[in-house]
Amino acid sequence: MNDTRPPWHLRGNWTPMPDEVTELLPHVTGTIPPELNGTYIRTGPNPHSGDSPHWFLGDGMVHGIRLSNGKAQWYKNRFIQTLDITSPLQNPDMGLGDLARGKGNTHVIKHAGKIMCLEEAHWPWEIDSELNTVGYQNYGGKLATSMTAHPKVCPITGELLAFSYFSFEAPYLNYIRVDAKGNLVQQEGINIPNMVMMHDFNITENYVIFMDLPLLLDLDLLSTGIPFSFKREAGARLGVMPRKGTNADIRWFEIEPCYVFHPVNAFEEGKLITLFVSRQESAFEGSSDNYANVGKLWRWQIDLVTGTVSEVQVDGRPGDFGRVNDSKVGQKSRFGYLMSLAGEGNSEEPVYGSKLYKYDLESGSCEEHNLGNNVRGAEPVFASGGPGEDEGWVLALSHDESSGKSRFNIIDATSFSARPVASIDIPQRVPYGAHGSWIAD
- What is the CATH number for 319? 2.130.10.10
pTM of the model: 0.96
Tens of pLDDT along 346-396? 456 788 999 999 999 999 999 999 999 999 999 999 999 999 999 999 999
pLDDT band of residue 332 (cuts 50, 70, 90) is very high
DSSP track, 284-343: STT-TT---S--EEEEEEEETTTTEEEEEEEEEEEEEEEE--GGGTTS--SEEEEEEE--
As a whole number of angstroms, the distance between CA 226 and CA 99 comes to 17
Half-sphere exposure of 70 (CA within 13 A, CB side): 3
Q: For position 286, what pLDDT does the model report? A: 77
Q: For position 343, what pLDDT does the model report? A: 65
Tens of pLDDT along 316-331? 999 999 999 999 999 9
pLDDT band of residue 344 (cuts 50, 70, 90) is low
List the single range of 61-75, 84-98, 252-266, 416-430 with lowest mean pLDDT.
84-98
Q: Is the pLDDT of residue 1 over 60?
A: no
Domain range for 409: 8-440
Within 10 angstroms of residue 225's Cβ, the number of other Cβ atoms is 15
Q: Is the pLDDT of residue 289 over 50?
A: yes
Eight-class DSSP state of 416: T
Does the residue 2 lie in any domain? no
Does the residue 1 lie in any domain? no
Tens of pLDDT along 247-261? 999 999 999 999 999
pLDDT band of residue 219 (cuts 50, 70, 90) is confident
As a whole number of angstroms, the distance between CA 243 and CA 205 comes to 8
Query: How many domains does the structure of the chain reveal?
Result: 1
As a whole number of angstroms, the distance between CA 430 and CA 404 comes to 9
Does the residue 97 lie in any domain? yes
Candidate ranges 78-92, 222-236, 283-297, 365-379; pick with highest mean pLDDT: 365-379
Q: Is the pLDDT of residue 345 over 50?
A: no
Tens of pLDDT along 85-138? 999 988 777 677 899 999 999 999 999 999 999 999 999 999 999 999 999 999
As a whole number of angstroms, the distance between CA 104 and CA 124 comes to 6
Beta-carbon contacts of 260 under 8 Å, excluding residues fewer than 6 positions away, are 199, 200, 211, 213, 277, 278, 279, 280, 295
3-state helix, strand, coil in the chain (%, to 5): 10, 45, 50
Query: What mean pLDDT comes out for the span 170-196?
Result: 97
As a whole number of angstroms, the distance between CA 338 and CA 323 comes to 7
349 or 27, which is more confident?
A: 27
Does the residue 224 lie in any domain? yes
Eight-class DSSP state of 59: P
Q: Is the pLDDT of residue 293 over 90?
A: no
As a whole number of angstroms, the distance between CA 389 and CA 366 comes to 16
As a whole number of angstroms, the distance between CA 106 and CA 162 comes to 15
Tally of helices (H runs) and strands (E runs) in the chain = 1, 32
As a whole number of angstroms, the distance between CA 225 and CA 289 comes to 10
Q: Is the dihedral of CA 378, 384, 386, 387 positive or negative?
A: positive
Percent of the chain with pLDDT over 90: 88
What Cα–Cα distance (Å) separates residue 152 from each residue in 156, 176, 227? 12, 11, 26
As a whole number of angstroms, the distance between CA 34 and CA 16 comes to 33
Question: What is the distance of C-alpha 322 from the center of its chain?
Answer: 8
Q: With H, G, I as helix, E, B as strand and everything else as coil, classify residue 420.
A: coil
Query: For the chain, what is the mean pLDDT?
Result: 95
CB 215 within 8 A of CB 195: no
pLDDT band of residue 291 (cuts 50, 70, 90) is confident
Does the residue 59 lie in any domain? yes
Eight-class DSSP state of 196: B
Q: Is the pLDDT of residue 157 over 50?
A: yes
Select from 49, 135, 134 the least CA-distant residue to 92. 49
Does the residue 283 lie in any domain? yes
Contacts for 309-315 with beta carbons within 8 Å, 24 or more apart?
309/238, 309/253, 309/254, 309/255, 311/255, 311/256, 313/279, 314/276, 314/359, 314/361, 314/364, 315/359, 315/364, 315/366
Eight-class DSSP state of 34: T
Q: For position 349, what pLDDT does the model report? A: 75
Burial status of residue 55 (CB atoms within 10 A of its CB: 0-12, 13-18, 19 or more): buried
Does the residue 225 lie in any domain? yes
